[in-house]
Structure 1
Amino acid sequence: MQQAQKTAELLLDAKVNTVISSSKLGSIETAKAISQVQEAADCLGADCVPRYVEMKQLEDLNVENILKQSDKGVKGLPLQSGWLNIYEDEVITELWDQSEKAWKYLLNELASESGQGNCVVAVGHPAVLIAMMGHCLNLTKGWLGAFHLDAGSICVVDFPDGPSGRGIVRCINYTAHLGRWSIPITRTTLDDEDFVYTDDP
């Protein structure tokens, strides 16, 4: 719950319109925390008027059942970089196809919002968020193992030309807001003492 609160606090200035989550309890709790902090923006001095945040659930953000089809899961273990590479092609294909539906839904949701500067937040399992990043960047499913997201991390995608245009990934796996609740698990492949880690969700 501390991760959810820290994430919500970081998003306070983002003026979120909609929070879409999977139906899993952890995702719902994070979505609620984000909504509560957003709607208290005027009391917290971040806005001069109250905000209203719409909360929705999207089944296509639920991918745990897809991953459970494999006996190669990493349940209970830290999700190391490249962890999606352990899954069979059938599992990755199903994940990829479902994430495409979720990505299109988010784009439609963003397009349906009125006005400029709309902000839609998606909360779900790291695997589906990684896959949606792949769709945003017009990659293939073979690239999924090249990305890593930690629990509570934040990724930002901008659409300067609107949701019908190309998305620009501004940041991925941002975790600095979590402080001591962030557990560094990503290692550099270079033996460089000056390398700065910014590991995070």
Structure 2
Amino acid sequence: MAIMLPIMLMLLFTYVFGGAIDSSGDYVNYVVPGIILLCAGFGSSSTAVDVANDMTNGIIDRFQTMPIQSLSVVTGHVVASLARNLFATGVVFGVALLVGFRPTANVVEWIGAVIVITLFILTFTWLFAAIGLVAGSPTAASGYGFLLLFLPYLSSAFVPIDTMPAWLRGVANNQPMTPIIETIRGLLTGTPIDDRAWWAIGWCLLILCVSILWGLWAFRKKAGRR
């Protein structure tokens, strides 16, 4: 689902809505950066359910009787999710090339885009892991994580912000997804980045630090460690 749903959305926006949004046929170059982040978000969201399941099925109590760090279970989920989502992102990107996406990035810009995408995946994987730790059940974790998946739709992922109502522009301009998407879009397709790269990195680092601290606190509280 983490791979197929973003691909289906990309095909939907490119071939069904793309002509109405951008009649020049260049809409695929606009929408792909947003689809990449959507792919990462869908993939990361499963971490919340996996972690919540581990916290409720007694496996943590079992690990506490063994000579290993129980927190390594959560860290393992994060590392596995990061690897899985990088692979899924690569698949989605390959499909994007097949439907007409034509990046203009040089080597340095490609490296920068990969770094930003990886940092984003790591950040939101830890955020979903923290949600899984505080959720009362896997079902609750799935519901809380699902709310975060709406953020890309309230950003510049699919349409320019200046086409939105005035009250919605303020939301879109001041949420984390927009600078991250605009940074990736600028690196891959040459659109202006301005100071958005710093905002993108700053948002990611802030959310990552808060998520790790939140996750450590929640784990110690639930696992009975002090």
TM-based fold match above 0.5: no
Provide the TM-score with structure 2 as the length reference: 0.31
Provide the TM-score with structure 1 as the length reference: 0.34
Q: Larger relative CO (CA 8 A, sep 6+): 1 or 2? A: 2
Identify, as 1 or 2, the structure richer in strand. 1
Q: Which has the larger radius of gyration?
A: 2
Identify, as 1 or 2, the structure richer in helix. 2
